[in-house]
Amino acid sequence: MLTLTAALLATTAPPAGATAPGAPARPQIKVENGATQPVFSRADAVTQTVSIETTVDSDRDGVRDRVQMRIMRPKETDSGLKVPTIVEASPYWAGTHDDVPMHPVDIDGAKTRSLAAVPRNLAEIFPGYLDNYYIPRGYAVAHLDSIGTGGSTGCPTSGDRQEAAGAKAAVDWLNGRAKGWAADGSEVKARWSTGNVGMIGQSYNGTLPNMAAASGVVGLKAIVPVAAISSWYDYYRANGGVLAPGGFQGEDLDVLAKVVLTRKNPEVCKQVIDELTATQDRETGDYSKVWADRDYVGQARKVRAAVMVVHGLNDWNVKVKNSVQWWNALKQSGVPRKLWLHQASHATPFRWRLEEWLRQTGAWFDRFLYNIDNGVTREPRVDIERAPGQWETASDWPVPGTRTVPVSLNAGPAGQPGTLSLRPRRGPAQSMIDAGRTRTAEQLLVNENQADPNRLAFLTPPLTEPVRLNGIPKAAFRASLDGRSPYLTALLVDYGTDTRPTGARLDTGERVCFGQGVPGDDGCTTRQAHRVETAPFKIVTRGWLDARNRHSPSRTEPITPGKAYDFRWDFEPTDYVVKPGHRLGVIVLSTDYDYTLRYPAGTKLTLQPGTSKVFLPLARGGREALR
């Protein structure tokens, strides 16, 4: 057994809560084998609610916004124990607003959808596992309502610096730099706080930690953003084009703000949200100040927190680019970091890799919030789930030895698909007529050995060796467009019947416990496994470009109908193995039914074979397999 005082004696002063020589006995945490141990009682934990003053006035009422935070901490903190805090900030704690119409995506049409209401009771303040697991180990756990939601004031602004100020204020209060008040109006201070703060969460709840870290706030020591946004442009746009998150066609900044607007007197936010509608620009899709204000990648140099990035390789809601570009920016800025890439969609690996998830995230917080030298930063930086339940580690990502290989799109025989080859071969121009308004990408992928008037296909021969795509593929096409749709869409497809993960999960029926239980919350969950299906193909990744933004996502330039231009754009990052006997395909479309705006059918897309290429990031041996 190792006490925290002994563990830190050589490098730091005794932490708050440890016993100094000759001092009266005070409650202490317990550290064993480099990890905090569950010695405090979740059942006896004390709770408090505080309203914290921010530095912004997003609702423009002349008063600084306040954010409400609900805290649970070991009862020993009332007797002198000082602890760090793990915060989960969210716009969802009070539920979501109902009947918010989506923007129409059928251009010249009037189709709308609505998001359904999911009301929540704020009295049920600690769903999830953080309280059961971390309070016994000597942490406080807090739930924070982001601005404009739940018990907070202000207006939701979908990721800008005003919203970041709410998360930052929580860290400031825990460090004595911001004011906070109890429900009775009395000022309260976090005298029990060490000032060391961690943040964790999935989706929007993971994006708020990114926001806070990008602000450079002092005291935020570690974050675990799961399926989180690093640039809102790359959530709602792509390379100049308006783009939907998977499953939410027609959503945008303003729609999301309305969905989470659960504060009292929501009508005060009408002007703020109307301005979002006016400035988000669904006409051109250009990158602008609206998006620059919601881009954290460029602020990575300000990050003081250690960052454990987690993302699903099958996540088409918050796409993988958001985590990969954040990972790369953190690397360039020298930030301590880890990366998990898993086979699910928009999810946290808690329920299908529970023990290792708790070990690594717990070690991450122990290391940076308690300064315990537990070796977590000396472990491999990257965990990758290659197949359901099959994990491997790497020192970096993309894995060392990955090379970018140009592969040419060559013309095939008449009535047959084109080919993919390391050697370019010119041939007659290949044309298709866009029908993506009524045919999905999946419908256009079938019968790949036959010509289809609504897509172009280019395939390798059956592979003799596995090919691992590992990184960010890119497209470089010589092509023309003639018609209403400005989109170029490219898909990388694995053709070959196989059983593959879909991204969804299913309950196994196995109950597993992770922490101390209390009435109504037993500290247990049902273990999950990946859902798989047998299918003749799988879309590995996809990429989109608005042809009018061929030079910059910030600038729309007209295109001349029928004139050939050089277009370059990126696919979503991927880590995927195409097996021997399968074929790798590139499918070219214009409209992508589930993601892009849908213009009237009829746009003609013409591609020049031989001069058009994809650049594939291939792990060692991949190039040889394509010969």
**What are the residue numbers of the active site?**
203, 315, 346
Q: What are phi and psi of 566, to 5 degrees?
A: -95, 125
SS (H, E, C) 128-189: CCHHHHHHHHCCEEEEEECCCCCCCCCCCCCCCHHHHHHHHHHHHHHCCCCCEECCCCCECC
Q: From the centroid of its chain, how far is CA 547?
A: 26
- If you search the block for the tokens 């596992």, which residue do you land on? 129
Continuous segment of H or E residues that includes residue 342? strand 337-342
Helix (H) or strand (E) holding 102: none
Residue whose entry in the numeric block shows the structure tokens 């730099």 = 177
556: Cβ contacts below 8 Å, ≥ 6 apart: 240, 284, 286, 546, 548, 549
Residue 233 main-chain phi, psi, to 5 deg: -60, -40
Q: What are the strands, taking DSSP E only, across 483-523?
A: 487-513
Output DSSP code: residue 314. Answer: T
The interaxial angle of helices 161-174 and 204-214, nearest 10 deg, is 80
Q: Comparing C-alpha atoms, which of 366, 361, 364 is closest to residue 349?
A: 361
Helix (H) or strand (E) holding 253: helix 253-259
Q: Write down the number of H helices and E strands in the chain.
A: 12, 31
From 313, 608, 613, 605, select the one nearest 474 (Cα to Cα): 613
